[in-house]
Amino acid sequence: MEDTICAISTAKGVGAISIIRISGKDAFNIIKKIYKGKDLDKVLSNTINYGYIYDKDELIDEVLVSILKAPKTYTMEDIVEINSHGGINTTNRILELVLEHGARLAEPGEFTKRAFLNGRIDLTKAEAVNDLINAKSNLARRVALNNIKGDLYNKIKALRNDIGKLMANIEVNIDYPEYEDIEVITNEVLKPELDKVKEEINKILKNTKNAKLINNGINIALIGRPNTGKSSILNKFLDEEKAIVTEIPGTTRDIVEGSMTLDGFELNFIDTAGIRETSDVVEKIGVEKSKKAIDSADIVIVVLNNSEKLTKEDEELINLIPENKRIIFVNKSDLPNKLEIKDNYIIGNTVNYDGIDNLKKAIKEKLNLDNIMLNDMTYMSNIREIDLLKKALDSIESALNNLYSMPIDMIEIDITNAWNYLGEITGEVYQDELLDILFSNFCVGK
């Protein structure tokens, strides 16, 4: 924390500008050694200053230098941001100069780590920063911004405060039993309070599936016998010739993937090899991959051929997939009908793409996507937070289960555990090793 750190904060490569960020107690001293222009000792905070970067007498670049004085900065330290012309050589040369004059290269996520350690943000906001950078859809961006704004932190903080009050009252009861003017914490007093905490935790956990769909996208597998039109459907959804389409059965021998956005959700399509009995070694491997894709998919679209009778293989495929994630699409409606099927299905074709809009609608309805968009957009963003919240719930449930069979001071142990788990979510309770792991997933320069 005593070091002055620096890093390139923009993407590597050729571009209009690059930004080299410096943070720490020597940030201003370092920039003054390589910058010529305004007297930086006299400029105000939060100003951008035109000038030049020099290596002794050699002109390196024409730049704009942002001066941001502690404590009202991202890291709560003095920060300098050098806006140079984009380009690998120029950017690296300026970074080398900054390193030569006393800074060290920042570790991944170290700027945000300092923001946390200096008390500017909590861990939920820090992780939301990374989520915002990696957001693949408009909805993922909105969720990340809500958490940066503090929506998730406020919910966890409120839960922790409620539990903290219970702990304080229990402690007073145990340590000062002679006081007559304090509320006596009995089982009848504890139970409704613990039930309320349990209900609030369950509300947050209920949305974890929604968070997965928003952040990671919806995995959709297209399965069926060979030559039913799976690849053509994929190409239509992606609006590109992603998969090779021929009239030869078994053309798709391996998994073909592609993504698109539907009403803010990222749809990750998997076009699988046609599932059938085959002696072809390569095709057989593709068929096995197809079966595995079914297990990992959120939605499975079973594609059937309208011009062929339903086969035993078709029936086995349909029965293989749970109804809650199965959509049946009967393709080739432009050909004479020979298919008879009792299950609900959508009919269309890949000639003029009839039925594709209905297929999109069915995907939204199957996962209740419209309702997700209307609901509270405060979601847990990652496995770490979800795991800790589940542990907090387990502790509260343990306290409730033991409420009438164990003394109050033993019940308090479970309540305290829940309080600590919630503190780990926000970072009010943490270990240095955890922080190192967490911020190592960030990009350098953030």
Coil, helix or strand at residue 181: coil
Dig out the tokens for 431 from the structure: 């270990």
Instruction: Establish whether the linkage from the previous residue to 177 is cis, with ω within 30° of 0.
Output: no
| Tally of CB atoms within 10 A around 30 | 21
Q: What is the pLDDT of residue 177?
A: 60
Dig out the tokens for 141 from the structure: 């961006």
155 with 378: CB under 8 angstroms? yes
113 with 125: CB under 8 angstroms? no
For the cut 90, the answer to whether the pLDDT of residue 18 exceeds it is yes
**How far apart are the C-alpha atoms of 40 and 49, rounded to whole Å?**
8
126 with 116: CB under 8 angstroms? yes
For the cut 80, the answer to whether the pLDDT of residue 287 exceeds it is no
For the cut 60, the answer to whether the pLDDT of residue 107 exceeds it is yes
Architecture of the CATH domain 5-106: 2-Layer Sandwich (3.30)
* Residue 47: strand pairing partners: 67
For the cut 80, the answer to whether the pLDDT of residue 382 exceeds it is no
Higher local confidence (pLDDT), 410 or 185: 410
pLDDT > 90 in the chain, percent: 40
Note the pLDDT tens digit of each residue in 233-270: 888 888 765 444 444 444 444 456 788 888 778 888 88
212 with 137: CB under 8 angstroms? no
Q: What is the pLDDT of residue 159?
A: 93
**How far apart are the C-alpha atoms of 405 and 385, rounded to whole Å?**
31
Coil, helix or strand at residue 350: coil
Q: pTM for this structure?
A: 0.72
**Among residues 49, 24, 25, 21, which one has the least CA distance to residue 35?**
49
What is the CATH code for 216-372? 3.40.50.300
Q: What is the pLDDT of residue 141?
A: 84
User: Which whole number is the average pLDDT over 60-65?
Assistant: 97
| Tally of CB atoms within 10 A around 413 | 13
User: Which whole number is the average pLDDT over 360-371?
Assistant: 85
Residue by residue, what is the 3-state secondary structure of 73-136?
A: CCCCCCEEEEEEECCHHHHHHHHHHHHHCCCEECCCCHHHHHHHHCCCCCHHHHHHHHHHHHCC
Domain 126-207+380-439 has CATH 1.20.120.430: yes
129-132 long-range contacts, CB within 8 A, separation 24+: 129/442, 129/446, 130/441, 130/442, 130/446, 131/215, 131/381, 131/382
The phi, psi pair for 388, rounded to 5°, reads -65, -40
pLDDT band at 435; cut points 50, 70, 90: confident
Amino acid identity of residue 305, one-letter, is N
Please tell me the least confidently modeled range out of 93-102, 242-251, 398-407. Answer: 242-251
Which residues belong to CATH 3.40.50.300 in the chain? Answer: 216-372
Which residues belong to CATH 3.30.1360.120 in the chain? Answer: 5-106
**Among residues 359, 328, 345, which one has the least CA distance to residue 260?**
359
Which residues belong to CATH 1.20.120.430 in the chain? Answer: 126-207+380-439
Please tell me the least confidently modeled range out of 94-108, 193-207, 235-249. Answer: 235-249
Q: What is the pLDDT of residue 101?
A: 96
Mean pLDDT of the chain: 84
Q: What is the pLDDT of residue 38?
A: 92
Higher local confidence (pLDDT), 445 or 36: 36
- The pairing of strands 265-271 and 104-105 is unpaired
**Among residues 431, 429, 430, which one has the least CA distance to residue 419?**
429
